[in-house]
Amino acid sequence: MAGSTRRNLLRIGAVLGAAALVMARPWSAFRTPEIAFADMPRMPPLRRLVAEGAASGGLAGGALLAGLDTVFPPGDEATAARLAADPCAALGLPWAGDGPVPVTYFTDIRCPSCRALEATLSAMTDEDPGAMALRTREFPVFGPRSEAAARVILAAGRQGAADAMRAHLRVRPVPEDRTGLARLAEGQGLDVADFLRDWDGLAVQAQLVEDRVLARLLGLPGTPGLVVGRTIVVGAQPRATLARLVAIEREQGPPDGCS
């Protein structure tokens, strides 16, 4: 009697376990992500990934429809016209057929969704160094503190230290005066005079404008944002989706609309 009861309990447990496994569907994590695109008719040959991830801050809803209809401040109009006339050049298109796919990453130092995406991009690059050519652009959408940090990062970048400075500013505030900026530059091993000159120079200002204008032309509503090959990606996406997207771009090759 006791043996029969035990066997019945084991059968019930097996049935319940199988049911739980079916409901959990652990194999769904290994499915190939569904990829769908929408054309950007006013900015050929670009397209956008239909699925949107989490993005923070930035523009009002519907920004993806803005594109060339976006109204820019008078000081940005010339930059907008140049980038709209040739978005391929700004995004590193086309690329060599057997070379890495260009990936442009738009970020804000205070973006809550960016760190996970950066970890994903770093892991993908480590796993296959030849798959992507990553360029980071500053898109400070969270106000003056973000813009101040972006300016410091770009100034450090002119000495090859953008990534180190970005990591530093993720855990420490941006100094509020030139004395503090000088100490920051010295602590990062930079040439202090060059850093300060670049920090308030025309080249860094022009780069800030270009990055911001390009993000708005692409219709990015906030950060993070990506352009993988010819494909605009809004928000943070799972690694499987990004890996599949890079593979599609490599399979399709450079777009014909870029020269």
Q: Where are the alpha helices (DSSP H) in the chain?
A: 2-24, 77-85, 87-90, 114-127, 144-157, 162-169, 178-187, 192-199, 202-217, 239-252
Q: Is 91 in contact with 102 (CB distance < 8 Å)?
A: yes
Supply 171's token pair: 């855990």
DSSP assigned state of 39: E
The four Cα atoms 108, 123, 210, 176 give a dihedral, to 10 degrees, of 40
CB atoms within 10 A of CB 58: 20
Strands 225-228 and 101-107: antiparallel
Strands 132-138 and 101-107: parallel
The pLDDT value recorded for residue 8 is 53
Q: Is 76 in contact with 213 (CB distance < 8 Å)?
A: yes
The pLDDT value recorded for residue 17 is 47
Supply 188's token pair: 């990062």
The pLDDT value recorded for residue 42 is 83
DSSP assigned state of 56: B
Supply 35's token pair: 């990829």
List Cβ neighbours of 145 (8 Å cut-off, separation of 6 or more).
110, 173, 174
**Mean pLDDT per segment of 10 residues, for the chain of length 259 residues?**
51 46 40 80 91 72 48 89 93 92 97 92 95 96 95 98 96 95 98 98 97 95 96 95 96 90
The pLDDT value recorded for residue 18 is 42
Strands 231-234 and 47-49: parallel
* pTM given for the model: 0.83
The pLDDT value recorded for residue 69 is 61
Looking up tokens 């599949």 gives 244
Encode burial over 168-197: b for 16+ CB neighbours within 10 A, e otherwise.
Answer: bbeeeebbeeeeebbebbeebebeeeebbe
